[in-house]
Amino acid sequence: MRRVAALLGKELADLRSNPAIFIPAIITGVISIAMPFVIAIAIPYITGEQLASSSDFRVALEMYRDQPATRRLDPEGAIQAMIFQQFLILLVLTPVAGAMSVAAYAVVGEKQARTLEPLLATPITTFELLVAKVLGALVPGIALVIICFALYLGGVALFAHPGVYRTLFFPRALLTIFLLGPLASLAALQLAVCVSSRVNDARSAQQVGALIILPISVLLVAEFTNDVQLTSRVVLLISAFLAVFNVGLMAIGIRLFDRESILTRWK
């Protein structure tokens, strides 16, 4: 693990010297934070029409009022709680967007800069190299999502109805941000790093890694249409699946990482 820490330190130092790489992630984070505030706070404020009086939210209101967590909120607060909880899943995309370009360049970038060969000539193993590369992209992504979540919480506490912010401390919300989010990011980044080991163009890696956005988007839409309710149990189940998927991806990544091809065939 000492070598992982050494290479991870390099990855983070490299990112610190190139903060512009996080602009897409910051944009994703800002959009993820802003959207529910626009829907739940800004539009009702501008139009003067309460969310609770809209027929669009009636089903959702009934559903949410059934839950002990939101039972004590007034109707407008319950709908706000629902919106802020549902949009949490968008925050999961923030680290994915943030770290994707980093992960996509993980191996290709080293090869293009001709820094890979001296690195491979050290005692570092493929496993250690890939772990460091994935963590190098994941750690800043998670840091970013924590900052976004803190801003989200602050915004909800300031602008939403009293008590709504408490619903963001419920297990479902916390599991989404601190378990599902990192695991989904990890899967995306591992995919990107795996592809980065096999292609000589970072864009291909980025595109494949971005595939993880698809199931997350499906989850978001399914939740909006009430086809799926992301309860704590569902979040835990998806997380367990992602954990197994990640272990498999690491094993595949090690198999796919072909030092020979990278050194001899890539130009």
Partner 1 sequence: MSTLVASHLTRRFDARVAVDDVSFELAPGEIFALLGPNGAGKTTTLRMLTGLIDPSGGSVSIDGETMSRTAGPRLRGHIGFLTEAPGLWDRLTVRANLLVYARLHGITNPARAVDEALDLFDITNRQHDRAAQLSKGLKQRVALARTLLHEPEIVLLDEPTSGLDPESARDVRDLILRLRGERRAVLISTHNLDEVQRMADRVAVLRTRLVALDTPAALRTKLFGSRVLVRLGDTAARFAELLRPAFKDVRADDRTLSIAVDDVERVTPGIVRVLVQAGADVVSVMADEAPLEEVYLRLLERETR
Among 53, 122, 217, 231, binds partner 1 (CB under 8 A): 122
* Segments in 160-212 forming alpha helices (H): 171-175, 181-198, 202-209
Helix, strand, coil percentages (3-state) for the chain, rounded to 5, are: 85, 0, 15
SS (H, E, C) 203-229: HHHHHHHHHHHHHHHHHHHHHHCCCCC
244-263: contacts with partner 1 (CB under 8 A)? 259-260, 263
Closer of 76 and 110 to partner 1 (Cβ): 110
Closer of 166 and 198 to partner 1 (Cβ): 198
| Residue 151: Cβ within 10 Å count | 14
Q: Which of 264, 116, 267 shows the shortest CA–CA distance to 200?
A: 267
Among 1, 121, 225, 267, binds partner 1 (CB under 8 A): 121
> 44-61 burial, b for 16+ CB within 10 Å, e for fewer?
beeeeeebbeeeebeebb
Among 53, 125, 217, 226, binds partner 1 (CB under 8 A): 125
Among 47, 48, 56, 118, binds partner 1 (CB under 8 A): 118
- Rounded least distance, CB 2 to partner 1, Å: 6
Closer of 122 and 231 to partner 1 (Cβ): 122
9-28: contacts with partner 1 (CB under 8 A)? 9-10, 13-14, 17-18
- Rounded least distance, CB 127 to partner 1, Å: 10
- Rounded least distance, CB 82 to partner 1, Å: 45
Structure tokens, 192: 């990107």
Closer of 113 and 214 to partner 1 (Cβ): 113
Structure tokens, 181: 């989010």
Q: Does the CA dihedral 163-169-173-178 come out positive or negative?
A: positive
- Rounded least distance, CB 22 to partner 1, Å: 15
DSSP 56: G
Stretch near partner 1 under the rule CB under 8 A, chosen from 3-11, 51-59, 78-86, 96-104: 3-11
Closer of 46 and 121 to partner 1 (Cβ): 121
Structure tokens, 205: 């890696």
Closer of 9 and 154 to partner 1 (Cβ): 9
Q: Are 219 and 242 in contact (CB under 8 A)?
A: no
Q: Which residues of this chain interact with partner 1, rule CB under 8 A?
A: 2-3, 5-7, 9-10, 13-14, 17-18, 113-125, 259-260, 263-264
